[in-house]
Amino acid sequence: MTNQNPEEVPLVAPSSDPEDRAVEAALRPKNLDDFVGQKRVRRQLSLVLEASRLRGRSADHVLLSGPPGLGKTTLALIIAAEMNAPLRITSGPAIQHAGDLAAILSSLTEGEVLFLDEIHRMSRPAEEMLYMAMEDFRVDIIVGKGPGATAIPLELPPFTLVGATTRAGLLPGPLRDRFGFTGHLEFYSTAELELVLRRSAMLMDMKVSSASFAEIAGRSRGTPRIANRLLRRVRDWALVHGMDTIDVRAASAALDMYEVDARGLDRLDRSVLMALITKFNGGPVGLSTLAIAVGEEPETVETVAEPYLVREGMLGRTPRGRIATAAAWKHLGLVMPANVAAAMPEDLFSVAPDDLMGTESALDSWGQQDS
């Protein structure tokens, strides 16, 4: 099986690579008015920040959750800009000891914004130190060991912690409760992604037709990061082919060359579905067996391909293994055999793709049957 280099991010993966981070820095909006989408979170966050400015105090701690690529880091940068405050950036994996966190907190200035990405991956000792820092703006530094150890209280200036997480359920309740505002970012609609693409195209001085924006947005999995990445690949294709203006045929041809189909599925996604259907008659099949069938690591299949396939209602995760739904057979142009369709509950076919809880419930109940 192939090993995936962490820096080699698939074209439709929501995670970022060094090139993405460099381009995103130039394309990121600088204030809430320029931020596209997430209307509910923007409206609530705007109220929180405005109230803090009127009181002349640091904003409440903010927790941003949601899938990768939707703008959590961008919103953290905007919060610092809106509050006219300096920004300190770190991440949960970088804080493995309480002393690491104490060193960061003790160097903060009054009103500074501390952005803690992937906060759910922070070590437990550091997490417990963060409780007191967030609530009382104080930390206790332990000096010495054993019976002679002494706790020295260290006062901290008021600051704003902005935590970002893709796994809000992994955060302990005491930590979640200390955030004054929690915003959950949702996937973008095609219309919202078109606005994101128009803004990015303008900043990159690209000439793109309206139909091309719609074509790229429809293949972007509801994620702005993926939309901007696909836009850059379309730009490259047009540049090589000597095109000044990108029309819908050029956008479609470029994305087809990169094997991103009309629903946003790439080679890996289609390989997973094809293996499920042609080699295992639609499943159920275990993750490891499925990964071997497509020549990938189980972690790659589980973290890169599965989330979008489940969200689109094409793949189900059950106690007995993974299954391909009727939508998967249809997307690949195949007909589901009558015996396979009969083994699945009727209500599974009536569940909307966006209703993931209903889909998972139906799939789980099916997976627990003895047949």
What is the chain's pLDDT, residue by residue, as a tens digit (371 residues)? 444 444 455 666 666 566 556 666 677 888 888 898 899 999 999 999 999 989 888 888 999 998 888 989 999 999 999 888 899 999 888 888 888 888 888 888 898 999 999 999 888 888 888 888 888 888 777 766 666 667 677 888 899 999 999 888 888 888 888 899 999 999 999 999 999 999 999 888 888 888 999 999 999 998 999 999 999 999 999 889 888 888 899 999 999 989 898 888 989 989 999 999 988 888 788 999 999 998 889 888 888 888 889 888 888 888 888 888 888 888 988 887 877 777 664 544 433 333 333 333 333 434 333 33
Q: What is the pLDDT of residue 10?
A: 64
Cα dihedral sign for 214, 216, 219, 223? negative
Do 269 and 275 touch, CB atoms closer than 8 A? no
Of residues 42, 72, 88, 219, which has the active-site annotation? 72
Let me know if 33 is a catalytic residue: no
Q: What is the pLDDT of residue 334?
A: 85
Q: Which two tokens stand for residue 271?
A: 């390989």
Of residues 88, 160, 165, 166, which has the active-site annotation? 166
Which domains does the chain show, CATH number per domain? 18-184 (3.40.50.300), 190-258 (1.10.8.60), 267-343 (1.10.10.10)
The DSSP line for 108-143 is: PPTT-EEEEETGGGS-HHHHHHHHHHHHHSEEEEEE
Placement of tokens 């993750």 in the chain:
287
Q: What is the pLDDT of residue 79?
A: 92
Instruction: Give the annotated binding-site residues for Mg(2+).
Output: 73
Let me know if 117 is a catalytic residue: yes
Q: Which two tokens stand for residue 138?
A: 């104080």
Instruction: Give the annotated binding-site residues.
Output: 27-28, 69, 72-74, 135-137, 178, 188, 225, 317, 322
Orientation of helix 72-82 relative to helix 39-55, angle to 10°: 30
Q: What is the pLDDT of residue 4?
A: 44
Alpha-carbon span 128 to 10, nearest angstrom: 36
Q: How many residues does the chain have?
A: 371
Of residues 42, 88, 117, 165, which has the active-site annotation? 117
Let me know if 236 is a catalytic residue: no
Q: What is the pLDDT of residue 303?
A: 85
Give the pairing type, strands 138-143 and 150-155. antiparallel
Q: What is the pLDDT of residue 371?
A: 32
Residue 293 parent element (H or E): helix 287-294
Alpha-carbon span 212 to 335, nearest angstrom: 31
The CA-atom distances, in angstroms, between 309 and each of 304, 348, 350, 358 are 10, 15, 17, 15
Of residues 42, 219, 225, 229, which has the active-site annotation? 225
The CA-atom distances, in angstroms, between 210 and each of 7, 191, 237, 248, 368 are 32, 11, 18, 8, 47
Alpha-carbon span 101 to 106, nearest angstrom: 8
Short-list 104, 95, 103, 162, CA closest to 126: 95
Alpha-carbon span 308 to 283, nearest angstrom: 18
Within the chain, how many helices (H) and strands (E) appear? 17, 11
Q: Is 232 left (phi over 0), alpha (psi -120 to 50) or beta?
A: alpha
Let me know if 347 is a catalytic residue: no
Instruction: Give the annotated binding-site residues for ATP.
Output: 27-28, 69, 72-74, 135-137, 178, 188, 225
Short-list 80, 100, 91, CA closest to 119: 91
Residues 6+ apart with CB under 8 A from 230: 11, 12, 216, 219, 220, 255, 258, 260
Let me know if 165 is a catalytic residue: no
